[in-house]
């Protein structure tokens, strides 16, 4: 299946530098420590590259949820694993791969808010602009239209996650 490059590896790394600067500026005024929650599996590359550039103490945490089967969103959020430590009185940054319909992220936010964090912010490397999801992504990455994308953690039936760029199938 031939892929077209949508966002190059260099552009991704440059965007991450800028996001990290914004995150550092924002949180440095509030705290010396944040809890970064990686939404597995798709965010793992973004999470890994981003946290290395955050100049605070970063506690790592992971959740695994899914709402896709192939290239179709199922509309149902399937939880595979949740957090292993409480978030009460912590500054939490959700690290997401893509915000599309927002259903998965709304589910995650609702769950995390019940733990009473001091703050809960979101960063996502890709934002689709086709569904009005109403989620405030404080640190947005790239905005794209209605393309099914793969690479840099994003998959199609578990394939293409390891690509260093974000591409799409025509």
Give me the number of domains the chain comprises. 1
The pTM (predicted TM-score) of the whole model is 0.91
Give the pLDDT of residue 116: 96
Residue 90: which domain range? Answer: 3-71+79-169
Residues recognised as catalytic: 100
Beta bridge partners of 94: 37, 122
What does residue 42 show for φ and ψ, rounded to 5 degrees?
-65, -25
- Helix (H) or strand (E) segment spanning residue 26: helix 9-28
Q: Per residue in 108-117, pLDDT tens?
A: 999 899 999 9
């Amino acid at each position: 299946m031939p892929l077209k490059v949508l966002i190059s590896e260099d552009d991704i790394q440059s965007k991450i530098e800028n996001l990290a600067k914004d995150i550092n500026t924002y949180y440095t005024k509030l705290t010396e420590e944040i809890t970064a929650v990686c939404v597995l599996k798709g965010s793992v590359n973004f999470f890994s590259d981003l946290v290395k550039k955050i100049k605070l103490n970063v506690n790592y945490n992971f959740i695994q949820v899914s709402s896709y089967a192939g290239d179709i969103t199922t509309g149902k959020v399937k939880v595979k694993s949740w957090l292993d430590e409480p978030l009460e009185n912590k500054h939490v940054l959700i690290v997401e791969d893509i915000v599309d319909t927002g259903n998965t992220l709304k589910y995650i936010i609702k769950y995390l808010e019940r733990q009473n964090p001091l703050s809960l912010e979101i960063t996502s490397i890709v934002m689709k602009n086709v569904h009005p999801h109403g989620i405030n992504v404080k640190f947005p990455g790239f905005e794209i239209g209605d393309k099914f994308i793969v690479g840099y953690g994003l998959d199609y039936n578990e394939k293409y996650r390891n690509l260093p760029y974000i591409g799409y199938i025509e």
